[in-house]
Structure 1
């Protein structure tokens, strides 16, 4: 019976027998008397089929497969008619286990353990461009090793999907340039304008890219800026700022963690990053800047392009259409652009001769890859910086515990504003929880909009817009019984009931069904109340309180990029706050206690990051800027009032070091069926110093990736990933094991986890166990 499409488990035995796994029996090993190039005939000559290329007839291919035990190179024959196209870094199509799979051609060689007359030939070369660079492959392997993942999964995030029309345009433009320059096919490839991967010197992707000879940039490539010197005075006002910017100008791989000033009209964090990029470009090096979302990307792009010559900057945004995204990728690959700005995928951009890599707001969850192996852009940036000897800048309004750890260990130096400059740049921050406001307003601690906040908003509206930050989007994201306060849930699937708009019936947040004629299942009371208020309801209430003032909502699917300097009430959820021209006159930080009470290791850290980001949009105190925070949480409020994100990060890191929690230690989560977890741990044979917690049952909503959303039948029964209801015969109730281990043993632990995944995948003796490393966002 032919294997199922898309099931590489049913692989060709000739290929599977070459998989080298610890403790995995192999049906046949190559005899030591066999030649690496295959069998020999009686005369001692190699028997090479006539269809193979005469030079380097063996292609080593990495399959685009998520199956762990196929995470290795497979040997294929290079037909003569594909010898010119089949170059390292190109996409190819091959036969494997009766299927046609895509893969990456990693290396051309003359040696193989497979008899040459039994080599499967490449079916075709799918791309005329070698889009996988040696550097990208090397960093992908580092990321896969660090995260116990599969290299092909990492490359899926690193190289955008192919757009054939873009490649044709690039090859046509290259041919035209070669013709104009009087080049011919016989010219030395090292002088060609093609990418390094298509030169003979870079034939082997497994080699060290630094040992390959440098190639000239294509014609028309903008060189270093020759305009007026870059103004670096903004950096010189920070502690360690002159040293960092001086190192960038000298091309040195400096490493820094930047805590930017709030509310500074002349140079905020984006201006500082733009200056650092311009200095790097002036030194003749490229730069990579990674931001968490498109809103910040648009603002940063404007500032960077203002300081750089035309035709230098490329944009890589995950939400862009495939054609412009792939075109920007190819331009970077060929060296036609040397600075890239983008969201999460930009960290992999194939910039020629990069000198600086920047990660903005590294605490933002958008920087975590949403597909296996769930790597963080910050971690990729650090690995790439080490491998390629780049300068690193982690910048933001706050300092995460991960970034603070880099400072504490001496790996990076802090760049922070002096206290006097900080105080001059801050807006006035008012905490309604302090004793003075409690005495003046007895309801200040209980009212959602205390009298102080109302008064500040009213006064600020005379000079500009006012930002109101609320915890949740929607109208009433949660409701409960009016009498007994029992949370209202769907009778079909037990999902939470919500109200989407004024006058609408409650509906289920999971299955979407309306709850007609709802009544409490406990006390049978027919009326409900809002137990949580969303941004739409808040906007409605503020509209009644300020009837002559426009109310703008920014949340959910309707996020505003910016607002004008005119008076308006802007209600936004965390992360959806629009940029205001001239900055906001005031900000009201509501629902802080609700945000801080969320379960999770990072609740306080995340709330503070949201607060700091919102406050940074407000004018400085000497320009009339005021912020009101309504939370009762003393430590978080004091951190905001003092504007001490680095101090909070130090304290958090010290506490987690005592408790042996991330990022003081590394972590991993194993998720799967209970029996499979026990078998997997037996197979992995982890070091005794690894702290193992669990297994414990988990719900679908706690799972990462596509399984994180519950699926249900028409009757409301929850489905597992296998399409069965929990508890039914053959169903898979998920459990999770948490692992905590020190950095010194991290390489050994992840190697054992990775090896166990591959062995379990090959032997198929128990169910699938998902492995995810660095899980602070799950705790």
Structure 2
């Protein structure tokens, strides 16, 4: 293939669906040595002299049937091939699966260019003797830098062998805390995943581990610091600065690494991918909020299929989606050698006999458990007590003291709440102060508490246990770790700090309020919140669940979490709810939504729900279909979206120009749509 005749096929960095395909450009002679697959380029668009950024996907010979003249690439933005061929295939497959655009996936996969960081990396590559190579170095660091660390609590060598063989596992973790050699306490799950990732790296392959939030990431990083060299670990998460994230990306591009991060880390480059791990895949933080809304678990499943690496899906509570894959035989269920059941006490949410317990609004059994843990009366050493609550703030929800109607903001109709004791109530949406509030139903002007928040609970517990230190941990008061000294730790769900040695008691309040959420995943979410708190308890310490009874409380107390996932999946099959079936939501102007519905063959669908109005001049329809029909449905929906995007209607008379067609929002597998 001659250099002058080479054609570069480029994917444009554009969210427009009509531009979501490869464009052919000629390669000028002066750029023939620089244009190669994966590099960033700038190319012209044949409209108003515009230019666009993009990535070279491949080089090819000119099409003999084409007799025209191709536009030439204007410039090579960077010589580094940042878009690898496996990541491009993954982006294309996911975009097609979700009726989205590949460029939206690539924005998550390839961070923005940082010139100084890139120059320093290129200089280091040149010093290492790799500057003349056509591809970045793929040499792994010497594996002798890491000491072998076997996985604990499972049959000897079983997990390592399964990962080395490229198996797909649904891993049940060990629900307890573990102390690292440097004295840091982390969840045992972090030690297990760190050991598997390190073993993969020692075999000369890359391991990618995706976790929901920074708390999980800190535990995993601490576990890796104890068993793997720092140079082998690359961190990629939203809290990093742009230069740090690009530096980590280039390090992952250079050779086998252990790459850890949040949901977008599943797109990290890997010269040789050996292991993909998704921790707590039921956590909504792993659901991508940007188009095309691909869940990290789904991205990992597709990438494993494309690259044939090992896959581990794990969590303290098994998701219904993972259970479906287990029942299909796509994931193999693996558990520890012995069961680890927490000591759970169920108690009704009734008035306590002790005055101090009544003041703190907790039952007598929970109050006694806290008192014994703080004083050491239980026979164990005195230590901290964890109190989990549903909402942050002081009084996050208020209502009319006369008629009980929820108090709403006069400006935007948002919910009114009180951030701290004595503060003027304010709107949770716009922040406006409710200085002259009156009820829209009865015109009463007094407010009353509906839901106490973490601040109010901490205040009441401080009065119930005078002289005891009270620690507040929520979004406004982040706390990652507490010491072993006696203290009351009031934390919102998901914000619980780790106590050295574990908590001597765990109180789970507001269970009924947590279950009152209107979502298909409410039971699964509650089990995850409660279990995540219970595993922070010291061995033998009680976990008291207040105010919840029935099958869900039984499953939590008896550690029947897999049975819960199995029964939940069976119920959803009967109702034809996800993940038993797939669904797609189409939101936009009524005419545009109906155009999408008409474009999809009814024979591909189980049924269509709607369209129903969700806002002024905006409607939504939901399509339900079998997994086997997913590719055809996505292709039909995507074609309709492209047609809608390319339509241009003239503006009303007297107004020059055009106005765009109504915007369509398409989302496949929306976890909150039902």
Normalising by structure 1, we get a TM-score of: 0.79
Separation (CA, whole Å) in 2 of partners of 1:687 and 1:439: 60
Within 5 Å, give how 1:478-493 maps onto structure 2: 478-493=397-412
Pick one of 90, 107, 111 that aligns with 1:139: 90
Secondary structure of the corresponding residue to residue 394 of structure 1: strand
Secondary structure of the corresponding residue to residue 72 of structure 2: coil
Within 5 Å, give how 1:608-623 maps onto structure 2: 608-621=527-540
Indicate the residue corresponding to 1:770 in structure 2. 665
- Confirm or deny that 1:194 pairs with 2:156: no
Indicate the residue corresponding to 2:295 in structure 1. 376
- Confirm or deny that 1:330 pairs with 2:225: no
- Confirm or deny that 1:755 pairs with 2:668: no
Pick one of 541, 545, 551 that aligns with 1:635: 551
Tell whether the 8 Å contact from 1:292 to 1:361 is kept in structure 2 after alignment.
yes
Secondary structure of the corresponding residue to residue 323 of structure 2: helix
Question: In the TM superposition, what is the alpha-carbon distance from 1:175 to its structure 2 partner?
Answer: 2.1
- Confirm or deny that 1:695 pairs with 2:611: yes
- Confirm or deny that 1:346 pairs with 2:250: no
Question: In the TM superposition, what is the alpha-carbon distance from 1:686 to its structure 2 partner?
Answer: 4.2
Separation (CA, whole Å) in 2 of partners of 1:525 and 1:757: 50
Tell whether the 8 Å contact from 1:235 to 1:272 is kept in structure 2 after alignment.
no
Indicate the residue corresponding to 2:520 in structure 1. 601
Indicate the residue corresponding to 1:651 in structure 2. 567
Pick one of 288, 299, 311 that aligns with 2:219: 299
- Confirm or deny that 1:451 pairs with 2:367: no
Within 5 Å, give how 1:81-120 maps onto structure 2: 81-96=30-45, 97-98=47-48, 99-112=50-63, 118-120=69-71
Q: Relative to 1, partners in 2 of residues 1:92 and 1:468: Cα closer, same or farther, differing over 3 Å?
A: same
Separation (CA, whole Å) in 1 of partners of 2:480 and 2:536: 13
Deviations 1:622-649 (A, max 9, x none): xxx1111113341211111001111100
Q: Paired residues, what number? A: 648
Question: In the TM superposition, what is the alpha-carbon distance from 1:392 to its structure 2 partner?
Answer: 0.6
Separation (CA, whole Å) in 2 of partners of 1:633 and 1:678: 45
Indicate the residue corresponding to 1:123 in structure 2. 74
Indicate the residue corresponding to 2:386 in structure 1. 467
Separation (CA, whole Å) in 2 of partners of 1:442 and 1:673: 58
Indicate the residue corresponding to 1:29 in structure 2. none
Indicate the residue corresponding to 2:184 in structure 1. none
Tell whether the 8 Å contact from 1:89 to 1:130 is kept in structure 2 after alignment.
yes
Question: In the TM superposition, what is the alpha-carbon distance from 1:396 to its structure 2 partner?
Answer: 1.4
Secondary structure of the corresponding residue to residue 382 of structure 1: helix
Indicate the residue corresponding to 1:167 in structure 2. 118
Tell whether the 8 Å contact from 1:340 to 1:351 is kept in structure 2 after alignment.
no
Separation (CA, whole Å) in 2 of partners of 1:136 and 1:640: 40
Indicate the residue corresponding to 2:652 in structure 1. none
Q: Relative to 1, partners in 2 of residues 1:762 and 1:520: Cα closer, same or farther, differing over 3 Å?
A: closer
Q: Relative to 1, partners in 2 of residues 1:340 and 1:356: Cα closer, same or farther, differing over 3 Å?
A: same
Secondary structure of the corresponding residue to residue 340 of structure 1: strand
Separation (CA, whole Å) in 2 of partners of 1:447 and 1:271: 37
Structure with greater Cα Rg? 1
Deviations 1:457-483 (A, max 9, x none): 111123111111111111111111112
Question: In the TM superposition, what is the alpha-carbon distance from 1:226 to its structure 2 partner?
Answer: 7.0
Tell whether the 8 Å contact from 2:341 to 2:558 is kept in structure 1 after alignment.
no
Indicate the residue corresponding to 2:653 in structure 1. none
Question: In the TM superposition, what is the alpha-carbon distance from 1:132 to its structure 2 partner?
Answer: 0.1
Pick one of 205, 208, 217 that aligns with 2:138: 217
Indicate the residue corresponding to 1:78 in structure 2. 27
Question: In the TM superposition, what is the alpha-carbon distance from 1:746 to its structure 2 partner?
Answer: 1.4
Secondary structure of the corresponding residue to residue 671 of structure 1: strand
Tell whether the 8 Å contact from 1:433 to 1:444 is kept in structure 2 after alignment.
no
When you count strand as a share of all residues, which structure comes out higher? 2
Q: Which moved more, 1:597-606 or 1:301-310?
A: 301-310
Q: Relative to 1, partners in 2 of residues 1:349 and 1:56: Cα closer, same or farther, differing over 3 Å?
A: farther
Indicate the residue corresponding to 2:656 in structure 1. none
Separation (CA, whole Å) in 2 of partners of 1:651 and 1:750: 30
- Confirm or deny that 1:271 pairs with 2:187: no
Deviations 1:50-72 (A, max 9, x none): xxx94343221111111111101
Indicate the residue corresponding to 2:463 in structure 1. 544
Q: What do you get for the CA RMSD once the two structures are aligned?
A: 2.5
Separation (CA, whole Å) in 2 of partners of 1:102 and 1:664: 40
Separation (CA, whole Å) in 1 of partners of 2:421 and 2:147: 57
Q: Relative to 1, partners in 2 of residues 1:363 and 1:342: Cα closer, same or farther, differing over 3 Å?
A: same
Separation (CA, whole Å) in 2 of partners of 1:327 and 1:114: 44
Separation (CA, whole Å) in 2 of partners of 1:402 and 1:447: 39
Secondary structure of the corresponding residue to residue 687 of structure 1: helix
Deviations 1:86-142 (A, max 9, x none): 211111112222222211111222314796763222221111201000000001111
Deviations 1:735-768 (A, max 9, x none): 1111111112112111211222122222357522
Indicate the residue corresponding to 2:378 in structure 1. none
Deviations 1:545-587 (A, max 9, x none): 1221121111123321111111111111111111111111111
Tell whether the 8 Å contact from 1:684 to 1:755 is kept in structure 2 after alignment.
no
Separation (CA, whole Å) in 2 of partners of 1:654 and 1:443: 45
